[in-house]
Structures are given as C-alpha cells and as structure tokens.
Amino acid sequence: MKLSQRLQYIMEQIPVGSRLADIGSDHGLLPVAAVRSGRVTQAVAGEVNDGPLQAAQKQVAEAGLADRITVRKGDGLAVIIAHEVDIITIAGMGGALIASILEQGKDKLASVKRLILQPNVGEDILRRWLIEHQWVLTGEHIMEEDGKIYEVLTAVPVSDSPVKQGELYRPLALSGSSLVLTQNWLEQLGPLLVREPNEVFFRKWKLEIHKLQNVLAQLARSEQESAQQKQQQLRKQIEQLEEVLTCLPKDKR
C-alpha cells in the first residue's frame, strides 16, 4: 500500500509508539500504514459517513489489523474516549471544520501530546484556535501534490513546547521594508513557513494575489460606494502581499 506524499508526510510526524486517532479517516489508509510502520501501537479510525466507514473497515480487515485498529462511526472526537489516544490526525477538511471538531471534543484532548492537522483552506482560523486553546505550533510544512497545495500543521500543548507562543508570533520585521508582520499576518502566512519559505509557499501566495486581482476587477464594474471601499481594501492587501513576497528570503524561492 502506497500513501500519497501528503499522508506520508503526516505519518512521519507521528512519534514511534503512539496511540493514534485519525478523524475523518476515509479509507483508513493512514492508520493502517502507521501501524504497519511501527509508529503506532493502537489506532482508532473515525468516520461519520457510511461509505468511507465501510471502506476503512475493509482496509483494516484485509491488512489483518482488526486487533490493533478500531473503526468507529461518529462525529469528530466523539469516536474516542478521554485518555484513549495521545496523537490525533485530522486531514482533508477546511480549517474552520477542524477547529470546530477540536472545540466540540476538547474534553478529549487532555492526554493528547500532538495534533497533526492538514486543513484544505482556512489555515488562519485553525492557527487562531490553537493559540486560544494553548497549543503551540512546532512544525509547518507546505507542499504541492497533483496540482493542489497543502499545509500540514503540527502542534503540542503549551506545557510540552520548547517555544513560547509569544516568541512564535512576535512581530517580524521584513528586510528592506517598513512593513512589519503582525500576529494577524503570521496567522495567515504561517509563523514558521514565513521564516523559511519554499517555492510552494511563494506559488500559493502568488495564486492568492491573482484571485484578489480577479475580485478587484469584478468590483471595478460596480458603482456602489461599498464596492469602491472594498476596492481600496483589496488594493492595499494586494500591495502588502506583493511587498511581503518581494522581501522574504530570495534564496528560498
């Protein structure tokens, strides 16, 4: 069984000897691979929809791992009990939905030592949730696979983090610019990603600029005062994003 690059990277963030809950496990590929690799001793694969649930059950059975991987139907963290796992992975959903899952199941997080999260959109929403609930980012990775860009966020409780939240989100001055990246900027761009940007990071934000320019062009056709105000905001946002990309380390592009 071959994992996608995205799932392979997520699996590599799981410490050896972990007890895993993979929420929204789809076909159960990640927990099966994680147990086979020796990283995970026991796993729960959670799914809310019948189709993926049955696919995960079949995957686990064919792998001969039914004694080590439990497939459960349920919404979010409702599939686990407190202190049952120490690693939680949630991948392939919007950041707002992942944040909601964590919020609704936060009573299950007391024993969890690491969250490995891959939001498809809304990464800033997820970063804000982590800040508000005392989880510190220890890793951020941006990658492209099959034409799609993914970010993987790894976080640990404040008590286990070698870095303080304030250090991670301390305003960052850009070389050659008067623009300072405040916490709001860092939540959007990623406080770790922005310090070591790779080609995919630049590609993502150039695409975001292009989307904003398209919205700006549409607003230009409107004579409403609210549209004109929105245009001014978008122009400023585009200018600032372009300045950020220009001033970030060029040898990382």
Q: Cβ distance 141 to 9 under 8 Å?
A: yes
β-bridge pairing 148-157 and 114-119: antiparallel
pLDDT digits (tens, 9 = 90+) for 84-113: 999 999 999 999 999 999 999 999 999 999
Strand order in the sheet with 148-157: 69-73, 40-47, 18-23, 87-93, 114-119, 148-157, 135-145
The pLDDT of residue 36: 96
Rounded alpha-carbon distances, angstroms, from residue 171 to 1, 167, 176, 209: 44, 9, 16, 22
Regarding pTM above 0.75, the answer is yes
253 pLDDT more than 80: no
**Banded pLDDT at 131 (limits 50, 70, 90):** very high
How far apart, in whole angstroms, are the C-alpha atoms of residue 172 and residue 191?
A: 9
pLDDT of residue 252: 41
Q: Are 86 and 111 in contact (CB under 8 A)?
A: yes
Cβ neighbours of residue 101 under 8 Å, at least 6 residues apart? 23, 76, 77, 90, 93
pLDDT one-digit tens code per residue, 156-193: 999 999 999 999 999 999 988 899 999 999 999 999 99
- Say which residue the tokens 């549409």 belong to: 218
Domains (ranges, CATH) in the chain? Answer: 5-162 (3.40.50.150), 172-247 (1.10.287.1890)
Work out the average pLDDT over 115-125: 98
The tens digit of pLDDT for each residue in 61-88 reads 999 999 999 999 999 999 999 999 999 9
